[in-house]
Structure 1
């Protein structure tokens, strides 16, 4: 079947739409731009929400890739700059120090799919999203995964940005100051409710900013187990989701990752069911000590960065609340109680305020 014939058949036979994919137009583009691909293609959504949409792309010959595009109805253009994400991963892939998928093809012609998108190699493996996904791991396997997670983060925190071609990615100074302005601005632009504690903590965080002690680095922005793929040896095979990546303070970037490392007994956690709650994993303080020892960075201001991380997460979730109120689901079905999102924001801010005692 020719591409043109498939386009016609796809349009005539499609019974359900795929949000974010113009099947006929994308099929024609893939056939022309992805070597050795064979229509028809299947598009299976594997990551959605406020983040970029990721589809598992399969062709008639059984080959697989991943296709990434911005969320449907996205409002934060800087977080969904597909060309920027492509550039970062392509540079890292060429440098070889940080494992990323192979970058295959990029489309900036919005007549094809309404937004930029790209295709990359599909990296098969284990993604630790929750306790169930890690339930079969023993302490030795968890240790390998933990050490690999640290090794890779330290690798991109100590890259020579100029040498890998990312020296002009963004400003290198005042990372936390830039983040404080950016996320408060996003909340205020949404303008769905008053959140006085968010404003109060912003002012206190701004006034108490510590001096940056580590050299500017590549900051992933959301590095954690479920944004990586583990291979069959329990090591990181690929780091995914570079959409929030910028240049900045590696200690603040590590502190953000550390908040995902939940310990048993934690009152609040970034994730609803963190895999690190399992007994096979090291505890958060040990992970911090190991990062400090391996990187050589001074973590004496980690308490400040922990408060900042919870404040920032509250801002991000507040943005999700605003989008849900406006009916924007980012490719997911509308489920759950919208009010619960707002309550989670309030609880995060209260948690950050408690952590700020004696720190700010």
Structure 2
């Protein structure tokens, strides 16, 4: 049940916000224009272990006393007398969300640069969290993260694919044969990218990292690989209608990687593997979004649904990265 008292004036208004097509997010407002954010699982039949908003709330609560910028959790309920699915209420963080091209187009190049450079620095904070002190040491398995990811997302692909895609199957085999040794274990966000953060209007610093449903314990370089996978550069056809990173001012992938490596002192040797795996995972996730939208149209976000062509483009780019890495 809800753990913190929240004063409310009059009836509440709920409006769907964000472009997320997994867990659903709503802006909640009362008659006094106070604001909160409510999260719930998507509609329709769900895959096992997916869309766990209660687990997500546990992670956010654990991070509240750390340097990681996250919204404060106000309450959680899974009481069948209140709701048919778990609900999580959190504070509303007022800031800039660069999740649409018109928003990115309006930003000054200097602010774009500051926002981009803040992403790897925020990842460094996430990966520096003392798991034992915040009570997250039991969050997930401590066995090989790469192998766990390959196993989990291969299963998700089999359950959610809308057609056969031999190129993805061959990419899975390439990645499985090239798994690097895991040298350390940290908190991993699992889906860290530009659309999943709130930044300051003034200086571009990340003031809230969002969407922690894929967070786990694993190799920190995996998160940096995800950032690179979501960061197309000019001339790359990634099949997406969101290519903010190609605009003047945003740093290139090499600069983002160098900021992270300088901040953390980590070895860059395995980064191309994680970049390719990040593209592979995004392709699997996009296919799952497609299937949920086909099965239940109410799950469609305003930004639309990933196309089959986009999934294929992600897989092709991952093969390109794998070729460059000699996998």
**TM value normalised by structure 2:** 0.91
- Does the aligned pair in 1 maintain the 2:37–2:90 contact within 8 Å? yes
Whether 1:292 and 2:241 are equivalent positions in the alignment is no
- How do 1:98-137 residues align onto structure 2 when only pairs under 5 Å count? 98-137=68-107
Check whether the contact 1:157–1:219 (CA below 8 A) recurs between aligned residues: yes
* Equivalent position of 2:198 in the other structure: 229
Which residue matches 1:10?
none
Alpha-carbon separation, structure 2, partners of 1:186 and 1:355: 23
Match of 2:108 in 1: 138
**CA apart distance, 1:143:** 3.3
Distance, in Å, in 2 between the alignment partners of 1:36 and 1:109 is: 20
- CA–CA distance in structure 2, aligned partners of residues 344 and 221 of structure 1: 20
The answer to whether 1:341 aligns with 2:307 is yes
Partner of residue 324 from structure 1, selected from 290, 293, 304: 293
Distance in 2 of aligned mates of 1:111 and 1:193: 40
What is the CA–CA distance in structure 1 between the aligned matches of 2:166 and 2:13, rounded to whole Å? 47
1:71–1:331 Cα contact (<8 Å) kept: no
User: For the Cα contact (< 8 Å) 2:162–2:287, is it kept in 1?
Assistant: no
CA distance in 1, matches of 2:161, 2:248: 42
Q: What corresponds to 1:63 in structure 2?
A: 34
Contiguous gaps of at least 5 residues in structure 2: none
Could you tell me whether the CA contact under 8 Å between 2:19 and 2:99 is conserved in 1?
A: no
Q: Give the drift of 1:226.
A: 1.4
2:75 aligned counterpart, secondary structure: strand
Residue deviations 1:112-140, cap 9 Å, x none? Answer: 22100111110111111133213343343
Aligned to 1:276: 245
- Greater alpha carbon shift after TM alignment, 189-198 vs 295-304: 189-198
Is 1:267 aligned to residue 237 of structure 2? yes
Deviation at 1:179, TM superposition (A): 0.9
1:65 is paired with a residue whose SS is: strand
Alpha-carbon deviations, 1:325-359, whole Å to 9, x = none? 323542547x96x8x72232223222322332252
Moved over 6 A (4+): none
2:156 — aligned with what? 186
Q: 1:193 to 1:265 in 2, by over 3 A?
A: closer
> In the aligned structure 1, how far is the partner of 2:160 from the partner of 2:232?
30
Contact 1:229 1:236 in 2 (8 A): yes
Which stretch of the first structure deviates more once superposed, 133-142 or 230-239?
133-142
Q: Which has the larger radius of gyration?
A: 1
Q: CA deviation at 1:189?
A: 2.0
Q: Please state whether the residue corresponding to 2:133 is helix, strand or coil.
A: coil
The answer to whether the 8 Å contact 1:49/1:330 transfers is: no
Q: Is the 8 A contact 1:70 1:82 kept in 2?
A: yes
Residue 62 of structure 2 is aligned to residue 91 of structure 1: yes
Distance 1:276 1:347 in 2: 17
Give the match's secondary structure for 1:80.
Answer: coil
Q: For 1:33-52, what aligned pairs fall within 5 Å after superposition?
A: 34-47=5-18, 50-52=21-23
Secondary structure of 1:352's aligned partner: helix
Question: Which deviates further from its counterpart, 191-200 or 151-160?
Answer: 191-200
Pair 1:171-2:137 in alignment: no
Report deviation, 1:109: 0.9
**SS in structure 1 opposite 2:136?**
coil
Shift of 1:191: 5.6
Q: Secondary structure at the match of 1:111?
A: coil
- Give the count of matched residue pairs: 325
Quote the RMSD (CA, aligned, Å).
2.3
SS of 1:187's equivalent in the other structure is helix
DSSP-derived class of the 1:315 partner:
helix
Residue 48 of structure 1, CA deviation:
5.4
